[in-house]
């Protein structure tokens, strides 16, 4: 282990894999990476249609670790809050935090991935191969079988250890599951809803057609549309909708007429910005939304799952990429401990990390319901108003659940979830019982929220609940 | 659907499958059942070593439905409570309920299964074939592929609908998962602990060597031994122990010397009753403990999962068989609604049933921790004392979580879980805060527990928690 000449094979050069390659390269390991897709830096991807992601403090912590914070900042579009759009076209900006310096960012997946690849390849001890698809992993022998996309040749690669960052459909995870050589706990949970990407193109002079610095949401109870800005003036729009339930669903939106009718009725102000709606709708696929959890992530000291391969989550907390980047930060901290063997490193990593990735998976599903539904309910709006005031008036003393998850990268997701849920429960119940109201003195509210939150956490602890 | 001449194919003639065959036979369907094992009525199974199960009110509800309650009663050994054994060999009987008429039963799996098979075969419209193993199910065509164990011949069976009651390793569920023709949510979760069956044989004159009418538990925090009585004077004993953690675990209990040392140290009074310990230990396999959940259970109106194939649970609430029997009761109620198509029947059945089987799966894992650990802690013992007094003094007004789950077959598992957990939380917190104590007037305690339970449920409801 102390021997940095160890050969580490990384499967997948997506966001997590390329960051991991960069960091392990910085640490002096011999790193070889195989990616099934072509090199996205030399493949034409239409900028206006590139998928964007929410990038926030946990992700930025990783960028600081590898020293590219400034380069990433140049790719970011700050989003200060949610811009809510009602059916009448009224808009209402709900900031993500009462602290002005706390916001999330829209970033292009491909631009960020390209940057990480380029930074990783600056290290002579890092090699990245594209168009090589992993077929399976022999986790007993620590070898992986690849197929070359162009030649169709198959070849086996050997390593001291293999780390799979090959995403939600991980080849290593499939090998763990199907080979049944050890007790592998596994779950895949699909939402009733799927998603489809659409777009708001730039205006003729290249400007943004709606407010740039927000994550736009059209919440409609059982479904919603969101939009995130791109650097070229466009927005990537996503429709989240049930496959089978409700008056309109993916199964019955089968003609341009019905699709247009649905948007006219539910999202008239969005439709105005999207003359390209019907083309987008029928050109782009409908994709499912799933959560994957599993354990163990590692097999002995041979193989390890990291990023989406270990914990794929739904996108509603904007934490998928940030969680995967934080994986690398946590893994890096474990490496600093000089634990001696890969087995001990992998075991320790999973022990400290899994509780947090389980938590963000659950929070992301919760937020699906919050975004499409709760944001439109009076009691949740009152809670949000109180929390904004608490954060503005007591920036050092109060953080909402959203802030704990998104802007408090020094605490884990699980702690953020437990404290955040207790705070939500405290505020909602005190509002319902008229113990507090939005017109009360904010210092008095803070005291009550703190006291009630502690009482809730203590009650759960005594009852043996988590 | 009104045409009772429909052909229903049942895969698996275990407890759930044979009950389902009996009930559908009573309803007039043409039922054909394929079971992979030989007919257990004509296969010699040593009685003293037969596996026994906990049989209680939800299971009995199903026996009433098919009219064999009295025949089943003859197979039952009542267990009035848990007989706890400490390390010094002291015993303490903790009844399952403060109501004398509430108890669970130990029953032989094979005797009960045999009875159900015989009752089912009394119907001319029910046919059961043994030694026919299901290889796969074509859920699009509503056909199943079987292999004859003796001839090795393969054959395909067609039906109007197929119901798979083929247990935790269900062939139909595997087809759902592996063929990826629809979004199939699935989870398998393994405990860190496995189990091994042992036995306390009858004394030389055929008597029980320890108290007959209890479920014996030797709780030791991180592991435990339990024992259930059999009709022949023996007890089936089960050791639940971690595979890898702790001073003693399944991975290091590798010699007669270490096994004996472990029992001498931890279970001396049990060891005295088990001169056959070492033989049992090394003859019997160590098996894992898993929970399986999935959804959807059905594919269109073609196929349906029922019993363990849909929801395998760990054994710690003694509800596995009872839950599967209750499946058949709930399915039968849906059939009474004359819903018209199998698809509507299957959809309705899953909608009303899945929340309850999810709940008992979670409760069973909770009870693993309660049985091996909590039963030995002071605050949990005080809670138990209070609950027994509440049930004795207010038999119509109070039921503990255990009673709600086990003896209140008229409410679903989910309702039992929510109310039971709220009650536990109320009592434990009021004990911790000295709001109540075991010496208080019991009527005053009842009032406080009721009020606090309602407050807890209301707080959760307002916070949008389940």
DSSP letters along B304-355, please? EE-GGGT----GGGS-HHHHHHHHHHHHHHHHHT--SSHHHHHHHHHHHHHH
Residue whose C-alpha is closest to residue B35's, from B109, B130, B134, B152? B130
Torsion of CA B214, B219, B225, B226, to 10 degrees: 20
Residue of B nearest to A426 (CA): B463
**CATH no. for residue A121?**
3.50.50.60
Residue with tokens 């740039």: A212
Asked, for residue A84, whether it belongs to a domain, the answer is no
- Cβ–Cβ below 8 Å for B185 and A184: no
Residue B98 within any structural domain of the chain? no
Residues A233 and A259 in one domain: yes
pLDDT confidence band for B221 (50 / 70 / 90): confident
Our CA-based measurement puts residue A349 at a distance from the nearest CA of chain B, in whole angstroms, of 18
pLDDT of A48 > 70? The answer is no
Shared-domain flag, residues A296 and A428: no
With bands split at pLDDT 50, 70 and 90, how would you rate the model's confidence at A51? Answer: confident
* Structure confidence at residue A221 (pLDDT): 87
Question: Are B343 and B248 members of one domain?
Answer: no
Quick check: A106 and A227 in contact, CB under 8 A? no
Long-range contacts for A426-432 (Cβ within 8 Å, ≥24 apart)?
A: A426/A452, A426/A453, A426/A456, A427/A383, A427/A386, A427/A387, A428/A379, A428/A380, A428/A383, A428/B462, A428/B463, A428/B464, A429/B459, A429/B462, A429/B463, A431/A379, A431/A382, A431/A383, A431/A386, A432/A379, A432/B462
For A429, counting Cβ atoms within 10 Å of its Cβ (0-12 exposed, 13-18 middle, 19+ buried), the class is buried
Q: What is d(CA B261, CA B259) in angstroms, rounded to the nearest whole number? A: 5
- Looking at residue A280, its pLDDT comes to 96
Summarize pLDDT for A139-184 with one digit per residue, the tens.
999 999 999 999 999 999 999 999 999 999 999 999 999 998 999 9
Q: Which site among A296, A300, A464 would you substitute to test the B interface, given the most B Cβ atoms closer than 10 Å to its Cβ? A: A464
The residue among B317, B351, B369 that closes a domain is B369
List the one residue out of B232, B234, B191, B200 whose CA is nearest residue B371.
B191
> At A106, which helix (H) or strand (E)?
strand A104-108
Phi, psi of B291 (to 5 degrees): -115, 130
- Residues A249 and A152 occupy one common structural domain: no
Work out the percent of chain A whose per-residue pLDDT is above 70: 96
Residue A40 DSSP symbol:
T
Rounded to whole angstroms, the Cα distance separating A424 from B464 reads 10
Residue B117 CA to residue B113 CA, distance in Å, equals 6
Contact of A454 with A426, CB cutoff 8 Å: no
Is residue B2 one of the residues assigned to a domain?
A: no
Assess whether A295 and A283 both reside in one domain.
no
pLDDT of B279-325, one tens digit each? 999 999 999 999 999 999 999 999 999 999 999 999 999 999 999 99
Same domain assignment for residues B175 and B196:
no
The SS3 assignment for B290 reads: strand
Q: Name the residue range of residue A358's domain.
A: 7-77+107-187+290-369
The pLDDT tens digits for A245-259 are 999 999 999 999 999
Task: Name which of B158, B139, B157, B140 is nearest B148 in CA terms.
Answer: B157
pLDDT at position B466: 54
Query: Which residue of A lies nearest to B460 if distances are taken between CA atoms?
Result: A425
Judge whether B279 is closer than 8 Å to chain A, CB to CB: no
- List residues bridging with A132 in a β-sheet: A148
- pLDDT at residue A464, as a whole number: 83
Q: Which residues of chain A are within 8 Å of residue B186 when distances are taken between CB atoms?
A: 186-188
Q: How confident is the model at residue A377 (pLDDT cuts 50, 70, 90)?
A: confident
Overall number of domains in chain A? 3
Q: Are B416 and B317 in contact (CB under 8 A)?
A: no
Residues B196 and B265 in one domain: yes
Give the three-state DSSP class for B228: strand
Are A182 and A328 in a shared domain? Answer: yes
A185 CB neighbours in chain B (<8 A) are 187-190
- Count the helices and strands in chain B (H runs, E runs): 14, 19
Burial B185-215 (b: 16+ CB within 10 A, else e): bbbbbbbebbbbbbbbbbeeeeebbbeebbb
Q: Is the pLDDT of residue A78 over 60?
A: yes
User: Is it the case that residue B43 has pLDDT exceeding 90?
Assistant: no
CA dihedral B429, B432, B438, B444 (to 10 degrees): -50
What per-residue confidence (pLDDT) applies to A3? Answer: 57
> Is the per-residue pLDDT at A392 higher than 80?
yes
Q: Write down the pLDDT at residue B325.
A: 98
CB B348 within 8 A of CB B301: no
Residue A23 within any structural domain of the chain: yes
**What would the mean pLDDT of A65-80 be, rounded to a whole number?**
98
CA distance B255 to A320: 48
B373: pLDDT strictly greater than 90? no
- Residues A325-333, mean pLDDT to the nearest whole number: 98
3-state secondary structure of A145: strand
A87 falls within a domain: no
Asked if A111 and A148 sit in the same domain, the reply is yes
- Which of B185, B190, B243 is nearest residue A190 as measured by Cβ atoms? B185
Q: Where are the extended beta strands (E) located within A139-214?
A: 143-148, 154-158, 161-164, 185-200
For residue A305, being part of any structural domain is answered with yes
Q: What is the pLDDT of residues A274-320, one digit of tens each?
A: 999 999 999 999 999 999 999 999 999 999 999 999 999 999 999 99
Among all residues of chain B, which has the CA nearest to that of A464? B425
The strand pairing partners of B158, in sequence order, are: B143
Does one domain contain both A173 and A319? yes
> Which of chain A's residues have a Cβ under 8 Å away from the Cβ of B369?
464
8 Å CB contact between A294 and A187: yes
A394 — contact with chain B (CB < 8 Å)? no
pLDDT of residue B47: 42
Mean per-residue pLDDT of chain A: 94
Q: Tell me, yes or no, if A464 comes closer than 8 A to chain B by beta carbon.
A: yes
Which of residues A308, A338, A369 is at a domain's end? A369
- When pLDDT is averaged across residues B115-121 and rounded to a whole number, the result is 98
**DSSP alpha helix (H) spans, A373-465:** 378-393, 401-406, 413-432, 442-462
Tokens of A116: 């990480």
Beta pairing, strands B215-219 & B185-200: unpaired
- From residue B168, alpha-carbon distances to B108, B189, B291, B395 in Å are 20, 12, 9, 37
pLDDT band of A5, cuts 50, 70, 90: confident
Measure in Å the smallest separation between the Cα of A323 and chain B Cα atoms: 22
Asked whether residue A446 is assigned to any structural domain, the reply reads yes
Domain end point (choices B369, B387, B420) = B369
Paired with A154 in beta bridges are A147
Which chain A residue shows the shortest CA-CA distance from B431?
A462
Flag whether B92 is in a domain. Answer: no
- Displacement of CA B258 from its chain's centroid (Å): 32
Q: How are strands ordered across the β-sheet holding B77-79? A: B52-55, B104-108, B77-79
Residue B4: pLDDT band by 50, 70, 90 thresholds? low
Tell me the mean pLDDT in the region B378-393.
93
Is the predicted pLDDT of residue B341 greater than 80, yes or no?
yes
Residue A99 confidence (pLDDT): 94
Chain A: closest CA distance from residue B380 (Å): 10
* Residue A119 pLDDT: 98
Chain A touched by B119 (CB under 8 Å): no
3-state helix, strand, coil in chain A (%, to 5): 40, 25, 35
A454 and A409 within one domain: yes
- Whether residues B276 and B301 share a domain: the answer is no
Per-residue pLDDT of B66-104, as tens digits, reads 999 999 999 999 999 999 999 999 999 989 999 999 999
Answer whether A378 touches B (CB < 8 Å): no
Place of tokens 């007919």: B39
Residue B377 — very low, low, confident or very high, per pLDDT cuts 50/70/90? confident
- Taking residues B125-153, report their average pLDDT: 96
B239-265 mean pLDDT: 97
Nearest to B288 among A183, A186, A424 (CB): A183
> Both tokens of residue B102?
């509430």
Q: What is the signed CA dihedral for B265, B267, B271, B272, rounded to 10 degrees?
A: 100
pLDDT at position B465 is 66
Which pLDDT score is estimated for B392?
A: 95
CB–CB contact B425 A188 (8 Å): no
- Span A188-216, average pLDDT: 96
Q: Which residues pair with B52 in a beta bridge?
A: B108
Phi, psi torsion values for B277, nearest 5 degrees: -55, -55
Contact A459 B184 (CB under 8 A): no
What is each CA distance from B401 to A300, B97, B316, B368, in whole angstroms?
41, 10, 14, 15
Q: In percent, how much of chain B has pLDDT > 90?
A: 91
| pLDDT category of residue A4 using cuts at 50, 70 and 90 | low
Residue A45 confidence (pLDDT) above 70: no
In degrees rounded to 5, what are phi and psi of residue A26? -60, -35
């Amino acid at each position: 282990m102390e021997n940095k000449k160890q050969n580490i094979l990384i499967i997948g050069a997506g966001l997590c894999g390329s960051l991991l390659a960069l960091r392990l390269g910085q640490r002096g390991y011999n790193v070889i990476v195989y990616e099934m897709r072509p090199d996205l830096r030399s493949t034409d991807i239409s900028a206006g249609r590139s998928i964007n992601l929410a990038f926030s403090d946990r992700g930025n912590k990783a960028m600081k670790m590898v020293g590219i914070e400034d380069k990433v900042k140049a790719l970011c579009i700050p989003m200060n809050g949610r811009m809510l759009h009602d059916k009448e076209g009224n808009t209402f900006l709900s900031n993500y935090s009462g602290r002005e310096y706390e916001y999330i960012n829209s970033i292009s997946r491909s631009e960020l991935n390209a940057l990480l690849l380029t930074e990783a390849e600056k290290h002579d001890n890092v090699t990245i191969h594209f168009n090589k698809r992993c077929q399976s992993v022999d986790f007993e022998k620590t070898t992986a079988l690849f197929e070359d996309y162009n030649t169709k040749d198959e070849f086996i690669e050997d390593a001291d250890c293999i780390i799979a960052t090959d995403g939600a459909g991980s080849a290593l995870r499939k090998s763990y599951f199907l080979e049944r050589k050890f007790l592998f706990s596994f779950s895949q949970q699909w939402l009733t809803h799927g998603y489809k990407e659409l777009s708001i193109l730039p205006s003729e002079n290249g400007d943004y057609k709606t407010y740039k610095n927000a994550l736009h949401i059209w919440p409609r109870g059982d479904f919603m549309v969101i939009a995130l800005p791109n650097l070229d003036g466009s927005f990537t729009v996503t429709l989240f909708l049930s496959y089978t339930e409700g008056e309109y669903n993916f199964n019955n939106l089968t003609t341009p007429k019905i699709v247009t009718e649905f948007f006219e009725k539910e999202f008239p102000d969005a439709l105005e910005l999207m003359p390209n709606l019907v083309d987008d709708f029928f050109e782009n696929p409908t994709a499912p939304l799933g959560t994957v959890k599993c354990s163990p992530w590692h097999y002995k000291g041979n193989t390890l799952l990291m990023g989406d391969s270990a914990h794929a989550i739904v996108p509603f907390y904007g934490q998928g990429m940030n969680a995967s980047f934080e994986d690398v930060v946590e893994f890096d901290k474990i490496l600093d401990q000089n634990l001696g063997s890969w087995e001990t490193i992998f075991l320790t990593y999973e022990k400290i990390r899994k509780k947090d990735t389980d938590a963000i998976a659950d929070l992301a599903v919760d937020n699906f319901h919050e975004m499409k539904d709760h944001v439109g309910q009076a009691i949740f709006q009152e809670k949000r108003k109180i929390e904004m005031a608490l954060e503005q008036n007591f920036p050092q003393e109060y953080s909402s659940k959203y802030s704990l998850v998104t802007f408090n990268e020094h605490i884990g997701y699980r702690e953020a979830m437990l404290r955040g849920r207790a705070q939500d429960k405290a505020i909602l119940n005190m509002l319902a019982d008229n113990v507090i109201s939005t017109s009360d003195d904010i210092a008095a509210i803070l005291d009550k929220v703190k006291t009630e939150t502690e009482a809730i956490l203590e009650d759960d602890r005594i009852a043996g609940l988590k």
